Structure formats: C-alpha cells, structure tokens
A and B are shown apart, each in its own frame.
Chain A
Amino acid sequence: MAATADTLERENKLEGIGCKRKRKEDGRFIQGKGSYVDDVKLPGMLFADFVRSPHAHARIKSIRKERALALPGVHAVLTADDLKPLNLHWMPTLAGDTQAVLADEKVAFQMQEVAMVVADDRYIAADATELVEVEYEELPAIVDPHKAMDADAPVIREDIAGKAEAGQGKREHPNHIFSWEVGDKDGTDRAFEAAEVTVAQEMVNQRVHPCPLETCGCVASFDKARGELTVYITSQAPHVVRTVVSMLSGVPESKVRIISPDIGGGFGNKVGVYPGYVVAIVASIVLGRPVKWIEDRTENLSTTAFARDYHMVGELAADKDGRIKAMRVNVLADHGAFNAHAQPTKWPAGFFSVCTGSYDIPYAHARVNGVYTNKAPGGVAYRCSFRVTEAVYVIERMIDVLAQKLGMDPAEIRLRNFVKKEQFPYQSALDWEYDSGDYETALRKVMEAVDYPALRKEQAEKRSRGELMGIGLCTFTEIVGAGPSKACDILGVGMFDSAEIRVHPTGSVIARMGTITQGQGHQTTYAQIIASELGIPSEEIQIEEGDTSTAPYGLGTYGSRSTPVGGAATAVAARKIRDKARKIAAHLLEVSENDLDWEVDRFKVKGVPGQEKTMKEVAWAAYNNVPEGMEMGLEAVDYYDPPNFTYPFGAYLCVVDIDKHTGETKVRRFYALDDCGTRINPMIIEGQIHGGLNEAFAVAMGQQLVFDEAGNILGNTLMDYFLPTFVETPHWELDHTVTPSPHHPIGAKGVAESPHVGGIPCFSNAVNDAFAHLGVTHVDMPHSAYNVWKTVHRLGLDKPSAA
C-alpha cells in the first residue's frame, strides 16, 4: 500500500518507532522534580548509619554499644548477635554463596558493615557510630588474588572453610570459590600445537565501580497493624528484591511492597541486595517505625558492588595469513570476600564465553577461577551484559597483539576473520547462536568515514618524527537480553519479562512493565513501541514501572535486557490488544475480520473507502459494544520468554595523541558505529551511546579501585575516582547500520551498553597502538597520564629537547 500524505501525517502524529521525540521523563528531571529514595519522607521516620570496619581482615573481640545507646535520640544499635535469633545475620547471595549482613565474629574487608545505629536523624546517627566501641584483632589480609590460593594463605571465609563447594561447583582451597570452563579443550590444544603462529598476553580488567550519581539506599516501613512491609529502594530489580525479602523475612510476598522510584543511575550497582537494606528492614520491623538508610559516596565506592577484577591470559593461534584457528583464555577472577556477583544463577562467569567475539574461530576454550580476597564483594555487570566487557576486551586486545606479531594491519586482520553475513544465525565455538550481523559492512563504513589509510599515513609520518599517535579499532559483538529461561534464571525465577497494557475507553493507555528505568528513557521508548503497534499517540501512553504492587512480575533492568525482553513483551501484549480490537472493529463495521486492513491507527474495510474504525473508536466500543460472547475491556498482559539473546555489534575507531613529557593522552577522534537492529528512538539511542562512551572513556583512561598491601581502599572519593565531566570527555562521532534481530517482535536488540563494552578496548587499543612500533605488545588500563608516562619513561621517549 503506497503511503499517502494522509497516512504519513497520521503516522507522524503517533511519534512511534523511529521518531526522535523528546523524552517524557525529562520535564521533571530538568526541573529538579524527580523523586528519589532520599526524597521519601514518612511520618516518624528514623535514620540508620553503619559502624564499619577500619581493617581489611580482623577478628572482632568485642562490641560495646552502651555509650552509643546513651546518646539522646538513639533508638537501637544492631549487631550480628542481634540478628542471629532471626537468622538474618547472614543472607544468601545471587551467586549461591552467603554474605554476612553484619560482621559475624570477623570482618573480611575494609569498611564492612559491623553494626547499624538507628536514630532520630542522620546527624545523631553519625555521632553515635563514633560511640560504638569495637575491639579488633588484626589478621593478615589477602589483596593480590594471585596469592589467594597459596598453601599458607590466611583463610578468609572460616564459615565455609570445610565446605567442598560454595554454590558454584567444586572448590580446591578454602579461598577458592569455583572453577568454570567451556569449550573443546583437546581440539583447542591441538589447534595451538599445529598453528603457524601463536600469541599469548596477560592483561587485567581492573577493579572499577559503576559509581551511579545517586548512591544506594532505602526506606523500610513495616506497618505492624496490617503486617505489611513497604520498602522504597534504589533497585534495578524490584520484583526479585520482593521475592528475596519475603524469603528472608517470612513476610508473605503479597504483603511485601517494593517501590523503586526515580533512580539516578544503576549501571549494575543496584541489582543486588545489600546489608543496608536488610538491616533497615529488620530495624523497621523491630522498632515499628520507618527507617531510612542512604549511603554516602565513599561507602558506595567502598562497599556496594564493584565490577571487573578479571586477571586474564589470552592466547590466539593463527596461520601466517592471520586466520585465527583457536583461542584460549585463562582467568583469575577476584570476587572479594563474599561471592555476591549478580549474574544469572547458572553462570559463574556470566557470558564470558562470548569471548570469541565477532570472529569465526573454530576452536576455543575458556577457564575462569574465582577466588576470595579481603575486598568488598561484587563483580557486577557495569553497563554491560554479564562479564561481556571482560570478554570483548580480551579478544579485541588479542587480535591486535596477533596483528602486531604478524606485521598486519589491525583492520585487515579483522576483515579476514569476521563471521560473514551469510553465516548467520552463527554457532560460535563456545556455543552461542548469534542472531544476526554484518560486521564487514560496519567496519568498512567506519574506515571510509575516517579515511583510514590517510590516518595510518599520518601515523607513519609522526612516528618517523618521534611523535606518539595511536589508532585503535574495536569490532565488538555483545550478547544481551538475558535471557531464554531455559538458560537463565535468578534464584530459580526464569529471566522472562513482562508488560501489561490497558487501553482506556477514551483511547489513552496505561502500561506497566517488570523492568525499571534508571535513565534509559523507558517511559518514552515503551510508549513509542505501543504507539506504533496500537495507533495511539505515544504522548497519550503512560508507562509505569518499579512498584511491585501494580507492575507485573519481571526480572528488572540490567544487561541491556529491557528492549530485547521487556520491549518484546510490550510489542506482543500490544498485538494481543490489536487482535481483539480487530474483532471489535469487524463487529462494528459488520464485516469479517479478514476484510479488514490495519493502517497506522485504524482498521479499514478492504476496497471500501470511508468504511473504517479508528483505534480510539474501537476503544470506546470495547466498553459498551463488543461482539457477543466477548469480554468487555481492552487490555492484555504478556510474559515474554525470549527464544534467544540478541547480539548488537559495532565498529569503533579512536585516534589518540600522547604527550611524551607528561603521559597525557588526547583523544583526537572517536568514531562509533552501532548496530542495534531496529532503532526505536534515535535520539535516545544517541544519548545512551554518548553516556556509554563516557563511561568507557572513564574506565579505560582513569577508573580504578586501588588497595594498599594491608587491604586499605585508596581513592574512594570523587577526587581520585575518575568521573569525567564534559571538560575531559572527547567529542563523539556517531553512525549506524541496521541489522534487525530476526527473533525479536520488532527486530530491536538493545544498545545502551554496547558503547561501554566496545569503547573500552577501543581506547585501550589506541593507546597500545601508539607504542606498537616500539615493540610494546600490551600495557594495562587505566591509561592515566601517570601510567602512560611510565611506559614513555621506560622507553626513554621523554628526554627533554635540550638534554
């Protein structure tokens, strides 16, 4: 059917899929009218604050609360001994381990929660924490994960010292958590033996923190008369939190209400359940008053979930022409003192096995060993799908290392190894089925846009003059949208997601999802999907998430799962409504359903101009004039269990210039081409890509949680922890191709994490490339001026001009 001016105009009015409409949420955010957990004020509310451990590893000899309790305004001081009778001094983690809610006999990381003070206001609470007297006996700490499994290593987890496993398979040492491996080991070994060329490289994905602008916190409110518990919480997964809270507290799930209000960024930091939430809930139940607990910045950086800390050895085997024959990766994963990473339960290393990347590698084998150290627990997916940043980093760095060894251009080696367009759906050596992709087109488009040969020529000239210029490429593939419930669950709950849509008599819509927005713009994006599916303007579609009493159960928002899973549920639920609407329209027009065509916002009788019913007319009829035997109303629910993950991809290029005398790296150019399938709101996509690139820049160039030898955490304030402002941030040039997902109802793949995942190796490859001609194969992130200078200085490149 040819689009007429009329249909086009009607379509534009919907502001549906493909429209760059402004975000619905921005009106309140830019006016400072958002409502966050710390804005919640309930009558009689008390404030909680933690007494935290000054030591990384110590035995607690005694805790004296008398002086704190004597301070006027203090209501309670809770310790592990107080939680013991409730069996809440330990809690299960998402990874099958247990975590001390309040330190039980010993502390295992600096700033661990030892006692919680509850007082009339946060000032009294802060004063009172200083009056709790804790006596410690210091123990030697393990900071370096490589030493965790030494024969004489101090045992960090005495509570499970004798156990053969800690929730994720066999352990070989009291500080060992799990060993996980995938792939054809023998085939891989044979391919390495037979290979013409092999390379191996150690590299670290340093411990970082997602550092959302809003820290974690909650307000727990137990209504004794009703037996109902309401918790306002900064959670990326409110429904899962409700299940966990119900299991822990014994309050029936129907009497627990979790509300995630506006959230100021999560990036993986707000997936798990933290001791602060549990103790605030207990305190509210015990005291019968609402209790608020809000972290400060230093607590956030020091104690609630970190990311990465993967110590890897990557290996590639190839022929002389650079065709990769096999890949091997060995990882030592530092999980801190408790195994509280947030991954689907059966995946101790997340989806790390996507590490063969965008390349057709016949054999691969990966092994990950998790160990305990005296650091905060975590290991979450920081703006990425589970362990995908680590996976993409190792392959994207290794392919450059291989190119360097072969004297081959990094673009050329990628082109030779890409999975070809015709190979999709593609089965990877480590058992993933990539849904769709066109990697070569993407890379060639980038190379053309930046005039790649000219850049390499400029670099050669600069090198001959002793200047340092680097060009980094990254052609990544992500795996997002966890996930098919046969593969993925959290504590036994399959990783589906949900949407419930109601069309009101006047044709406006309210829809609720099991996901929760934290800056992604769901209130706009989901409305656009429904607008296109139902022919109702997105402006008239209200989206609500985050309240477990109103929204359908869902697994939440992380790992770019909202569009692939929640977005699919939304489209399918909308289609159920449209199917019913078609029946009503046929009834109203007195024709058969098959005689109707759907056109933008209405059903039209085929071949009879003027005979039509708009969705709005149908909505009205749904409440007063439906076909005989049909229920009134116009609503639908869908619980969507995706048949597969989606595999967004991209081709990035970065150009850096390095100041030889200071080590400062200037990002001169960053060109990012993303393919996330169908593009719902191109403006939101661009915003998300900017954000993800900023965070990639942050990780690659500066972020790191640093510890001294005693396990003291250093740099846990924003003076040291690098959050780039617009002053530091490079200019981003964006581009895209569109390769829809064949299995997603609207072909969309998820995008907001790609720039983080793809950006990090791109920056790192650029910095490493600046030294490649000098025989340097790899230097670790973060590429801060100080670290880069160490390389410059070691190579003697920083000689002053007059020396």
Chain B
Amino acid sequence: MIPGKFEYHAPETLADAVALLGQYGEDGKVLAGGHSLLPMMKLRFAEPAHLIDLNRIKDLRGVRDGGNKVLIGAMTVENDLIAADLLWAKCPLVPEAAKQIADPQVRNRGTIGGDVCHGDPGNDHPAIMIAVDATFVVVGPEGERKLPANGFYLGTYWTQLEESEVLTEIQIPAFNDNTGWAYHKLKRKTGDWATAASAVVLELDGDVCSRVNIALTNVGPTALKAEEAEAVLAGQVVDENLIEQAAQKAMAICDPAEDLRGDVEYKTHMAGEMTRRAIRQAVQRARG
C-alpha cells in the first residue's frame, strides 16, 4: 500500500500545468482529489513519475451561472456541488447524484473533473454527464477543445482526452420547467460503487415525452447511453408498459463484468430495475 517513487509538482496556473504535462508526456499525470489515482498508485497499478497537482489553480474551482447553462470548474469537489444552490436550481440531477457518490470524506476531496476524466465505468458522473447533455472544455498545448460527454468515453480508463490535455470546465444546459430527472443507484453500502445505476432526464409536453436521455453506470466498459430505451419513450405518453419496454431495452445493452457485487445476470436485472425506478420518478417530477 505504498506507491512507487514520483516527483510532485504544484503549478499555480493552468498554463503552467499544461506546460508541465507537455514536458513530461506519458510520465506525467494530473492530480485532482486523488481518490481514484492515489489508490491505484498505492497498489502500484499506476506508477506515474510526475504528479501535477491542480489544487492550487483557483480558476478551476466553483460553479458559475452561464445564463441558459451552468458552468462547473473541473476542480469543484463533490461536497461543493451538493452545496451549490445554483445547481439545485438549474441542474438538480448533478448534486443529487453527487450525494450518492462515495462517502463524506471522499466527497470532500474528490472532484467532478477527476470523476469524469478517470474513465472508470463505476464512476457516477459519466452517466450523469451524458444524461444532462454536458460539454467538456479541455485545454492542451494546442489550445481549447469542446467535447460532448456523449461520445467522450471510448473504453475503460480510455477517453477522448489527450495525455497533454486538462479538463477545465463542464457546461450543462439548464433544465426547463417541464424537465424531470432521477438517478437510481443500487449499492451494497455507503462508499460503494454502483452494482448498477440509471440516470434519466426527460421533458414532457403535456403528457407526451418530448425528449429523453437514459444513461447507465457500471454495466459495461464505459457509461452506456441507452438509445433504444430512449426511443421507446420518445414521443409517447409514458405508462408502465412503455417503462417496462424501455427497461428491457436498457438491459439488452448491458455488458457488465462479474465481480463480488454480482454476476452478469444480476447486474443486468438491476440496471433494468434502476431504469424503471428512474423513469417513474423522472416522469413524476416532470409533471411537477
């Protein structure tokens, strides 16, 4: 439980951080809250020679109002998401999901940026980001790029982020009055990753579901967008029958790894059950 040797850098500005990343290439790794990276280093699964700590870069922290968007600094910790009135007002799914991540200690250090960049299918924010149509702002030696969350995840621990890039901000469109949302996560105990979880964001036009995103956590190599499940609901009046069909479609795309949380069958069924519950609650909330 002791990491290998590494050098520690604590740049004060984003430009310095990017420069250091450029300098050390694949030997460098950005440190945010450290709650995913440090455990891997202690097990010596990761042995970066250079750690570039982003914690001193103040600009990367905090939640700002961007009009019809909410702008979240990559270094904002989970507890600050939970405490952000702006998020509860404009995009309540994010703090609601943050409350279900890990435990208070981890949430005090762990950042939303680290959670989305790590590429761990067990992390909760990737599915949430897909469900809320987030855009990731990343900065590298060549400047800034904007990447939609949907499509960002390529595989386990593998995203569109280049080695020399830093995620600086997450932009999320504000919810409308007719938006309903829910995140249902089954876990064994507090501090555990999901056995399976489902994020649902939808809009109702009268009784008709006019827009819907469904994304699943920890039932595949990455967070999964359940597009066929969405298609079942889109343009329809959502009832128990359709919910069941959507759940079945969501289950059909699950490809979870067996572990002590359960086998493939259990996790797939739980993804279905979490999806049922999330849709029901989202519809109820959309109705107001």
Contacts and interface: CB of A to CB of B under 8 A. Distances in A.
Interface of A: 122-123, 126-127, 130, 296-298, 661-662, 664, 702, 706, 714-715, 719-720, 722, 724-725, 727-728, 784-786, 789-790, 793, 798, 800-803
A296 B1 CA distance: 7
Contacts of B151: none
B260 A298 contact: no
A103 B31 CA distance: 40
B269 A793 contact: yes
A297 B192 CA distance: 17
- The interface size bin for chain B is 20 to 34
Contact of B186 (A127, A130, A662): A662
Contact of A801 (B5, B240, B265): B240
Nearest to B192: A719
B104 to A, nearest CB: 10
B2 interface: yes
Contact of A725 (B2, B4, B189, B243): B189
Nearest to B184: A662
B240 A702 contact: no
A786 B270 CA distance: 10
B241 to A, nearest CB: 5
B195 interface: yes
Nearest to B241: A802
A798 B269 contact: yes
Q: Which 9 A-B pairs have the closest CB atoms?
A: A802-B240, A126-B2, A802-B244, A727-B190, A786-B262, A296-B1, A661-B273, A720-B260, A715-B260
B1 A297 contact: yes
9 contacts: A297-B1, A662-B273, A702-B188, A725-B189, A727-B190, A786-B195, A786-B266, A800-B247, A803-B244
B261 interface: yes
Contact of A702 (B44, B189, B193, B243): B189
A97 B43 CA distance: 34
Given A801-B240, A802-B241, A722 B189 contact: yes
Contacts of B262: 786, 789
Interface in B240-276: 240-241, 243-244, 247, 260-262, 265-266, 269-270, 272-273, 276
A785 B186 contact: yes
From B103, B188, B270, name the one whose CB has the most chain A CB atoms within 10 angstroms: B188
Given A296-B1, A715-B260, A802 B243 contact: yes
A800 B266 contact: no
Contacts of B269: 789, 793, 798
A722 B261 CA distance: 12
A127 B240 contact: no
Contacts of B189: 702, 722, 724-725, 727-728
Contact of B270 (A126, A130, A662, A702): A662
Given A706-B260, A724-B189, A127 B243 contact: no
Contacts of B266: 786, 789-790
A48 B276 CA distance: 53
A134 B195 CA distance: 37
Given A661-B273, A715-B260, A728-B190, A298 B1 contact: yes
A784 B195 CA distance: 12
A785 B270 CA distance: 11
B131 to A, nearest CB: 21
Nearest to B2: A126
Interface in B208-237: none
B273 to A, nearest CB: 5
A715 B1 CA distance: 16
Contacts of A706: 260
B270 to A, nearest CB: 6
A709 to B, nearest CB: 14
A719 B122 CA distance: 13
Nearest to A706: B260
Nearest to B187: A785
Contacts of A802: 240-241, 243-244
Contacts of A719: 191-193
A130 B192 CA distance: 30
Nearest to A727: B190
Interface in B2-37: 2, 4-5
Contacts of B5: 127
Nearest to A803: B244
Nearest to A718: B191
A124 to B, nearest CB: 10
A664 B186 CA distance: 9
Contacts of A789: 262, 266, 269
Contact of B244 (A722, A727, A800): A800
Contacts of B2: 122-123, 126-127
Contacts of B188: 702, 722, 784-785
Nearest to B193: A719
A788 to B, nearest CB: 11
Given A725-B190, A802-B240, A127 B4 contact: yes
Contacts of A722: 188-189
Contacts of A664: 186
A719 B193 CA distance: 9
Interface in B193-215: 193, 195
Contacts of A803: 244
A763 to B, nearest CB: 16
Nearest to B190: A727
From A296, A297, A789, A798, name the one whose CB has the most chain B CB atoms within 10 angstroms: A789
Contacts of A130: 44
Nearest to A661: B273
B253 to A, nearest CB: 18
A673 B128 CA distance: 46
A793 B262 CA distance: 13
A31 B5 CA distance: 34
Contacts of B1: 296-298
Nearest to A721: B260
Given A126-B2, A662-B270, A800-B273, 10 more contacts: A297-B1, A702-B189, A714-B260, A719-B193, A722-B189, A725-B190, A728-B190, A785-B195, A786-B262, A793-B269
Interface in B65-101: none
A722 B247 CA distance: 30
A122 B272 CA distance: 47
Contacts of A790: 266
From A719, A725, A790, name the one whose CB has the most chain B CB atoms within 10 angstroms: A719
A714 B262 CA distance: 13
A175 to B, nearest CB: 27
A433 B186 CA distance: 49
A516 to B, nearest CB: 27
Contacts of A720: 260
Contacts of A661: 273
Contacts of A122: 2
A798 B247 CA distance: 14
A724 B188 CA distance: 10
A296 B44 CA distance: 15
Nearest to A724: B189
A127 B241 CA distance: 59
Interface in B161-203: 186, 188-193, 195
